[in-house]
Structure 1
Amino acid sequence: MDPVTVRGLGRCLLCACLAWASAGGAATAQEGTGAPDARRLKVRSLDIQGVSGLDVSQLTGVLATRESGGLLPFLGKDRYYNPRQLQADLYRIIAFLSDHGWPRARVTSVDLDRDEEAKAVDVTVHVDQGPPVIIDKVETFGFDVLEPRDQEAVQQRISVVAGRRRVQGDVRNTRTATLAVLQERGYAYSTVNVLEGEGTAPGHVSLYVIAEPGPQALFGTITVRGNHGVSDGRVKSLLSMKEGQEFRISRVVDTQRRLYNREIFQFVSVNAEPTSTVGAPVPVNVVLTQAKPMRLSITPGYGSEEKARITTTLRHLNFFGGARTALATVRWSSLDRGVRLNVEEPSLFRRGVSMSVGAQYWYADEPAYRSTTKGGRVTFAKQRERSDPVRRRQSLTTLSVTVVDEYEDYTVSEEALNDPDFYDDLIALGLNPNTGRGKGQLLALAVDLQRNTTPNLIDAKGGYLVSAHVEQAGNWMPGAYNYTEYTAEMRKYHTFGNIVVAGKARAGTIDAPGLLAADVPFFKRYFLGGSSGMRGWGRFEVSPLTLSGNPIGGHSMFEGSAEVRVPAFAKFAIVGFVDAGNVWYETLDFHFDELRVDVGPGLRYLTPIGPVRVDFGYQLTRIEGLLVNGELEPRRWRIHFSVGQAF
């Protein structure tokens, strides 16, 4: 710091203290210690004058001296004047301004205005910023070892810009971000420095971003420590890197994230530190501390569709060792309840294929039917994760195959059972026309393929998701049902400034070699409506109707949605949406001139677990004659409460 500035600070603070003493004594009590007395004065206001070119709240945010109160003064915290804190804050002001481009800034005076009646003091700090340091030009050297597209990425990560102030934070960010590009391309031993040269005039500088990439390197020996209960081989099968693989710094970060996400370990540290021999393979040290294996959680909740709900889960995070996860779930709500058990093998034969074995006893109470499902599923899944932070791309592709063996016992709704127009369907479905009950074994093979490029699907702001599902029951497999189902879905998210535009399209159809009503169980039929799509209607309300007006489901469906999500204030956001879709009875029977449409606004409140949302949907195209719970539905609107975005 300039000696002149230091002497000026000393004189400034001395004058302030003398003025304070002459006014009736100094406030010597420390903030937060003891009870308030006559000598303790609240800081009623703190004003910093002479600062321009930046938000003063950024400056006051780093100071220890702060104003009392808050948005509501009677609820805010009392802050007391402390001369030692103020003295340190004067140095903080100079350091802050110097770091943000004003190296010659100084404090010229401090005014302390005491109010004895209110036992308060108003603090005013006068600052002379001086001229800023302006960047004339920014040049890069040493990055020519990278591909042209990666060199463009380096330029995009340079925070310092010609014609602007030199901010030390931007200089540090530039060094860190450009070094990360080199390390992501295998240059583990690279260094980057930002050097400063003379500019075209006093107070102007030229900045040079200089890289020394060195040779490309590989990952060396991987050492695992602290892995009690999980073998070294199993831990290494969960890592994102392998010995002898090209070095990429993102693989180190992904490895740490993967191990934490398994929740088996309470502490995870993954370090890849280059050795003193430039170009040598980079050793990796993985240090683990195992967490308690048993986790119990009881989660209550509420939604506009399922009303009150409670879910209890018991997890064993290292079931019989090997990082296997066992999960038991007990749930109750007005829509569904039951017990589910699941065991996951994270890496079958260490080939990167996971296996999940599940069993359930589950009751579902839907508007169109009630069903009880007993049985199990076995799923084999292979994931391929790709991450390229340099070009800001990431993707997760998952291929899974599921074998289903479940016994279904279901009954259609009273409204459908009492509808004479549905009598022939009951017989074709093999249901008792008097009770509407059917039962049978479902043996099926399902194949799912999904590609996801969104960083966070719960509240996505960019990327896309594409998925396809094929399910075959019967044919060469025994069982009571014989059908093939095809569904596909695509979601796309894009951000314009701080506004997110999201779109979704989903389609599906079910085919059968014989009669649809005979080969396809009723619970597989398509219905639309609810909080996640077609929000102008309730669940199971968009569907073909009987002549009486009861929804009976169909075998082809399409739905699409578009949303605009705009931040409002604090943690609130507002949404405008439009939904369109319909269900048709026959296979591949799509008629896009018959789409039902709804629009509406929504409100979101951001929480750590995702946005809490409320949507109001209004029907632009009514379904004439629709019966809900046996009564003619007069409303053209619905209100939905839920957690997470609609899609």
Structure 2
Amino acid sequence: MSVSNITQEDRSLMSNYQKLVYIIPLICLLIIILCSHFVGNILAEEAIDKKTSEKQQYIIRQVKFEGNRLLSQKQLSSLIGVQPGENFQKDTLEAGIFKILDEYRQRGVFFAEIRPRFEYPPKDSSLAQIIVTLQIRESRPLKIGTISLEGNKLFTEEELKSELRLQAGDFFNDAAFNDSIERILQLYSEHGHPKVKVSPVNFDVDEKSGVVNLKLMVDEGPLVKISEVQVEGLQKTKESVVLRELPIRPGDIYAQEKIDLSYQRLNNLGYFYEVSPNLLQEGAKPDEVIFNAQVTEARTGRFNGVLGYAPPTSLDEKPQLTGVIEASESNLLGTGRSLNLLWKSGALDLYRFGYEEPWVFGKPLQIGVEFSSLKQTEKYTDAVSKERSGSLIIGTKLIRRLEGALALTYKRIDLPAGMFLGDNSQSGVKYGLKFSLERDSRNYYLNPTGGRVDKIALEISQGDFKLKKLWLDFNQYLQTWKKQVLAVGLHAASVWGLNIPPTELFYLGGANTLRGYNEDWFRGPRRLYANIEYRFLMGRTSQIFLFLDLGTVSKIDRPNTFESLKIGYGFGMRLESKGGLMSLDYGLARGDSALEGKVHLSLGTSF
């Protein structure tokens, strides 16, 4: 089987042919062992066929289990799939018995026997009911005796055994055995041998002693190199722009980790709507493979509009509308350069422009500039503070998945006298130096099913406002069931210093922090909040979800004292296609009625 069949499934881009090499012999050996012990005892075929040949339909009156010790009655009942009151179906019962035997096998009991017994009503009875009794003989669980390996040269037998999840004396377990083989395959793939084959050549089982001795044959295969690195399907993006982002080059020794990282990187660049997981093809020689990424380009230009609506909470209060308009291009002219414009209206009015050059001097060095203008209006006095700023941002990749950035910032802040901090309020300038680190291991940034994003940032400023600011952000994504993901975000921020202007405080509330509350409704020198979402994935980039938000800010005059915890909850959806995005959140604050929720609607188009 060719290397082109390597896909991103059970293990990222693990070769399917590698799995078949050890799974097929194992299955054959298990069939030989197991068939002789329990297949003949699965069903009393003659008894069933003799009665059912009368074409009489029976109703199951009761299902009983005898002789079971390892599995409880409740566990067996859930596995058998046959319930009292149902019509008796031979195939259903047979499938249930196989499930029970499989469960025993997962627990190391390979020689369990199940004999069904049927109690039929008398011939003169008008009741067509039967009682099914499953007589179970639980054999002794198999234990590992000896494990030996042959054919290995690159690694010693001790090194390979250290990768095994099964050791001498352990109970034999199918899942642990398969995982052990996977770990050996992974080890070889990380050291240039993706065509390694591991086959069980001896599966010696002693039923009386309950011991199984394993012998594994290792065919290491050739040392494989990457002969070519290609990208197919590009229309707008220059090939060199994509290739420079990948950690592999022609002539590199094959390393599975780099292949996996390349696939993740292609997905997270934001240039492509789809990336085929079939990345590898056979080369011209047995010791060569071709890295050939097949992609479908996305529309990287976006125009989004967000509308927030909060109904009035009293008769003399007006409903509150907030809005955000954003235009961005993340792959300008196919060069990877990014450009964005943002306008936001609400408690904070914001205008922002940003541009980033992703590669400078042929190195992964990002240089960006950002300009913004902010106006903050006091809720009760209508006093206005303004801030105008400019930033120069320099970033680079430090190590795998870890990026660092340094930002130089200039801000001009104008405050009305006595607005916020009494007689100490002032207007002035602030010079800031901000350092940040970010680690991103998400498997797909738009709709992750695994991985996390961690970010820490520290800013020190001088000038008329001598401040220190800290940000901590942690986001984790865990797949719970098929197409279901739990997303958890934890966020903290703090500012220290004298004469803290209101534009330097941290705000809480709205679509990005605390849904169920008005946009930027709370503020303080300290901020803590958490977002918990349970997502149901509807497609590669679409989802519906339930959410719970919790957050608080500290008091302005007492920074170490926090206000009461605010709780928001609700539901939302993100629906995206090649042409655009629709996002909707409906959030309720604690104590709100169902009709008092806050609506956050975002409509966008791609170009």
TM-score, normalized by the shorter chain, greater than 0.5:
yes
* 1:548-587 matches, cutoff 5 A: none
8 Å contact kept, 1:237–1:347: no
1:15-414 matches, within 5 Å, as 15-16=47-48, 25-26=56-57, 50-53=67-70, 65=81, 82-94=89-101, 97-98=104-105, 100-109=107-116, 111=118, 125-139=134-148, 145=154, 157-198=163-204, 202-213=209-220, 216-269=223-276, 271-272=279-280, 275=283, 277=285, 280-294=287-301, 315-329=328-342, 331=344, 335-348=347-360, 350-364=362-376, 371-374=385-388, 376-386=390-400, 396-404=401-409, 408-411=413-416, 414=419
- What runs of 5+ residues in structure 1 fail to find an aligned partner? 28-40, 69-77, 387-395, 431-439, 474-480, 495-501, 511-515, 533-537, 544-558, 562-576, 578-601, 629-634
Superposed counterparts of 1:403-552, under 5 Å: 403-404=408-409, 408-411=413-416, 414=419, 416=420, 422-423=422-423, 425-426=424-425, 429-430=426-427, 444=431, 446-450=433-437, 452=439, 467=456, 469-471=458-460, 481=463, 522-523=501-502
**Which residue does the alignment assign to 1:11?**
44
CA deviation profile, 1:194-245 (whole Å, cap 9, x unmatched): 4545467643112245544456444321021112211211110121222233
Query: Cα distance, 1:140 vs. partner?
Result: 5.3
Alpha-carbon deviation of 1:15?
3.0
Q: Distance in 2 between matches of 1:349 and 1:62?
A: 63
Alpha-carbon distance change, 118 to 235 in structure 1, aligned in 2, over 3 angstroms: farther
Structure 2: give runs of 5+ residues left out of the alignment. Answer: 1-30, 311-319, 477-488, 515-520, 537-542, 570-607
**Corresponding residue of 1:554:** none
Contact 2:82 2:93 in 1 (8 A): no
Q: What is residue 583 of structure 1 aligned with on the other side?
A: none
Seq. identity, %: 14
Provide the rounded CA distance (Å) in 1 between the counterparts of 2:36 and 2:215: 29
Shift in Å at residue 251 of structure 1? 1.1
> Over aligned residues, Cα RMSD in angstroms?
5.7
Secondary structure of 1:398's counterpart equals strand
Distance 1:365 1:121 in 2: 79
* Alignment partners' CA distance in 2, 1:94 and 1:195: 25
Please give the secondary structure, in 1, of the residue aligned with 2:335.
Answer: coil
Three-state SS of the structure 2 residue aligned to 1:347 is coil
On the 8 A contact 2:340/2:355 being kept in 1, the answer is yes
CA–CA distance in structure 2, aligned partners of residues 209 and 309 of structure 1: 66
- Asked whether the equivalents of residues 464 and 490 of structure 1 are also in contact (C-alpha less than 8 Å), the reply is no
Relative contact order higher in (CA < 8 Å, ≥ 6 apart): 2
SS at match of 2:359: strand
Shift of 1:353: 2.1
Q: Which amino acid aligns with 2:275?
A: V
Q: Aligned equivalents of 2:466 and 2:394: distance in 1?
A: 20
Q: Which residue, 544, 549, 567 being the options, matches 1:641?
A: 567
Q: Report the TM-score when normalising by structure 1.
A: 0.57
Change (3 A) 1:636 1:143: same
CA drift of 1:319 comes to 3.4
TM-score (norm 2): 0.61
Amino acid in structure 1 at the alignment position of 2:226: F
- Seen in structure 2, the aligned counterparts of structure 1 residues 508 and 157 have a Cα distance that, compared at 3 Å, is farther
- Paired with 2:474 and 2:150, the residues of 1 have a C-alpha distance of 38
Aligned partner of residue 214 in structure 2, secondary structure:
strand
**1:161 aligned counterpart, secondary structure:** coil
| Inter-partner Cα distance in structure 1 for 2:395 and 2:434 | 10
3-state SS of 2:180 partner: helix
